[in-house]
Amino acid sequence: MLSFLKNLLGNTPTSEEVRQQIQEESILPATAEHSQQGKQSAPAGVVTSLSLHPSWEDKLSSQEKYALSFMAQELEPLAEGSISLAGTSLVPHDAGVEVTAFIRNSSDRPMTLNEMTLVVLFGDQQLFTRQKFDLAEIGEIPPRSARPWSFVFEREHFLQVDVLLVSWKIAFEMAQKKMVLPQQLELEESWIKALSDEQKNSLIELAKRLPSIKEGEVNIQSMQIRTEESGALNVMLLIRNGSSQSLSFEKLPLVLYDATGEKVAEGLFELGSLTVHASTSKPWLFIFPPESIQKQDADFSRWKVSVPQS
């Protein structure tokens, strides 16, 4: 598991071992570029420090720990809030190839990963192999730290053979979610009775013109806003369900922002049991009462409503 340390600590590699090269691939890309001519100035970002899994703590000597700590400190700083892989060694293994990498967490909170697919790329981003791994085995990765781990990519998963792996990197395979457009506009029975055919058709056409959303995504699209004489704000939203399951909402917190990005109003809306079926969009009217309005004379030339992150 720790065969890469032989090269790191100065042992002579065999002719079968592959040249090492530190490469990095981030889920959230770092903003600073690595300079091949040496560091002229310290790039902005998070420097990760070494974190060892208990199983590694017991097997490593003090010299090996020091070497790993130095390597972790020398990795290029990450953008804050990233999870990244930084490969350090790729060597032959009886079952295929063994890749050792730092799993780096540049956020301010500990992180535990689950099953994910990793890929090894070489040359001009060519795919050499991909394989699923249970990353929960790595344990909890502390904030702003880098944890080394070894991955054995089995020969049966190789997509190419007889390639020279002198320029390579290991990366997370980020599944590209298919873009879908909830085709069906769903109206509550009360809306069907209250709206004219022209109003219904207008809603249908508006829903069709909206951009697609990712498969499995649920979002809220701002549609219309009107100020009542009482001072209340009537806001029509379109709840879009791009998932394969029906969703029910009993309560929904919402915040209204104007063109300046300032908060105009917020409230918690009781919806009873509002259901939006799979792959459909449903319009709903939300009324912000006068007492919920925090900004008068708001600019509604542009506006949006969102669900607060908390």
DSSP codes, 97-142: EEEEEEEEE-SSS-B---EEEEEEEETTTEEEEEEEEEGGGG-PBP
CB atoms within 10 A of CB 42: 9
Residue 175: its pLDDT value, please? 62
- With a cut of 90, say whether residue 154 has pLDDT above it: yes
Residue 12: its pLDDT value, please? 32
28-32, 98-102, 274-278: which is most confident: 98-102
Domain ranges of the chain: 4-172, 179-306
Give CA separation, 27 vs 61, 162, 172, 186, in Å.
32, 29, 7, 36
Digit-coded pLDDT (tens) for 31-43? 222 223 333 444 4
Q: Mean pLDDT throughout 290-295?
A: 95
Higher pLDDT pick, 92 / 43 = 92
Tokens found for residue 139: 């344990």
Residue 139: its pLDDT value, please? 92
CB atoms within 10 A of CB 145: 20
Q: What is the dihedral of CA 30, 34, 39, 44, to 10 degrees?
A: -10
| DSSP, res 46 | B
Closest CA to 79 of 34, 107, 41, 45: 45
Which residues neighbour 121 within 8 Å (Cβ) at sequence distance 6 or greater? 25, 127, 128, 168, 169, 170, 171
Parallel, antiparallel, or unpaired for β 304-306 and 280-288?
unpaired
Contact 303, 250 (CB under 8 A): no
Distance CA 233, CA 264 (A): 10
Distance of CA 34 to the CA centre of its chain: 23
Tokens found for residue 60: 């490593």
Read off the pLDDT band of 30 (50, 70, 90).
very low
Q: Of the CATH numbers 2.40.50, 2.60.40, 1.10.3470, 1.10.760, which one belongs to the domain with range 179-306?
A: 2.60.40
Verdict on whether the full-model pTM lies above 0.85: no
Average pLDDT over the chain, rounded to an integer: 81
Tokens found for residue 181: 């457009």
| DSSP, res 50 | E
Tokens found for residue 150: 């070894």
